Structure 1
Amino acid sequence: LESNEPYLSAALDMISKLVERVEPTVPAQRIMLLGFSQGACLTLEWAARNARRYGAIAGLSGGLIGPEGTPRDYPGDFDATPVFLGCSDVDPYIQKDRVVEAAEVFKRMGADLMVRLYPGMGHMVGPEEIAIVRGLVESI
């Protein structure tokens, strides 16, 4: 984690500032957090550190940040926030174990979780993922 500093902290702080900026007019229950690849990693890490009820969370080809064995004892509860994690089973950048780890953490923290590992898809966003994300947006 230290090798990513100060950029990791700056990126996570930017997400905090964006959420703070919209919250006066858009309650957290209507905010969707979404990212792909590195954006998914930032989105999921920020959400885990700031758990509460959101409109939805989607991490496409991403996982929590940090090497294997990083403590994942985040405080808070997602209060049944819909969370979608989608990734290829052979993504060259995101190992499926990272997605499974994130899923376990989000489930433990009270998320209404949906996980899809797509066979042989590679590092991309597939049509089913787009449909699922569209459904999440429409449900908010």
Structure 2
Amino acid sequence: MQGPHDLSPVYTAGEPLKEAAGVVVLLHGRGSNAGDILGLSRAFMDMKLAFVAPQAAGNVWYPQRFIAPREMNEPDLSSALMKVKRIVDGLVGSGIPTERIVIAGFSQGACLASEFVASNPARYAGLIAFTGGLIGPLGSDLHHDGDLAGTPALFLCGDPDPHIPFVRVEESVEELKRMGAEVSLHRYPGKPHNVSAEELEQARILLQKVFSQNSTN
């Protein structure tokens, strides 16, 4: 049975896969598009990375808030997670291991990125959640099985944020730490619902660190 996002396109930027030091999968926010989130790649074009950005059907990965009862976001949520999995599996099949793949997103895309990494645990090059966290109602059990094996994870969020309760960001940090990720949390009091220059700089620090390590291994 075909999912809502199965036939949506996937766009790329940056280096060809065979020449890239690593790959960053970028997941756009609600109402946005792949071209918009690919614009973030301009901040990292000197790093010899490939960027891959899928497009959500109707510009929305799932219809309700990320803290709504999970069934209210189906089948879109499962289709979105499968869309990311197919991309990652395709990269691995092309010879790029998860250790060279970063999953990143903004807002709804950050929630999807976080949930994907927790639901498909492996040693990734990194997770970057620009204003987002794990998916599920407030007060629900966020437990996920598996080992993230030291995956570097970066959570960045304004507080307060009109769409993302900061307590959920904190809960997500704790769950990924429990799963074995090395997590950094950056709280920005009063920051608008956007990706700031300071957040991009924090992302650059993570990318430089993980891919310089990869190049010497």
SS at match of 1:59: strand
Q: 1:63 maps to which residue?
A: 133
1:69-127 deviation digits (Å, cap 9, x = unpaired): 32222111111111000000111000101100100101111111100010110211111
1:19 to 77, 88, 95: 88
Equivalent position of 2:117 in the other structure? 47
2:127 counterpart SS class: strand
**Structure 1-normalised TM-score?**
0.96
Q: Which has the larger radius of gyration?
A: 2
Native 8 Å contact 2:136 2:142 kept in 1: no
Within 5 Å, which residues of 2 pair with 1:1-140? Answer: 1-24=70-93, 25-138=95-208, 139-140=210-211
Q: Give 1:136 deviation, angstroms.
A: 2.1
Work out the CA distance in 1 between the residues paired with 2:114 and 2:126: 11
Q: How much identity, in percent, do the aligned residues show? A: 42
Whole-angstrom CA distance in 2 between matches of 1:34 and 1:21: 17
SS at match of 2:169: helix
**Gaps (5+ residues) in structure 1?**
none
TM-score by length of structure 2 reads 0.63
For 1:103, the aligned partner's letter is V
Larger RCO (alpha carbons 8 Å, 6+ apart): 1
What amino acid sits opposite 2:71 in the alignment?
E
Residue 32 of structure 2 corresponds to none
| CA distance in structure 1 between the aligned counterparts of 2:106 and 2:143, rounded to whole angstroms | 24
What is the alpha-carbon root mean square deviation over aligned residues? 0.9
Aligned length: 140
Q: Residue 23 of structure 1 aligns to a residue in which SS?
A: helix
Query: Structure 2: which 5+ runs fail to align?
Result: 1-69, 212-217
Distance 1:84 1:123 in 2: 17
In 1, Cα distance between the equivalents of 2:165 and 2:145? Answer: 25
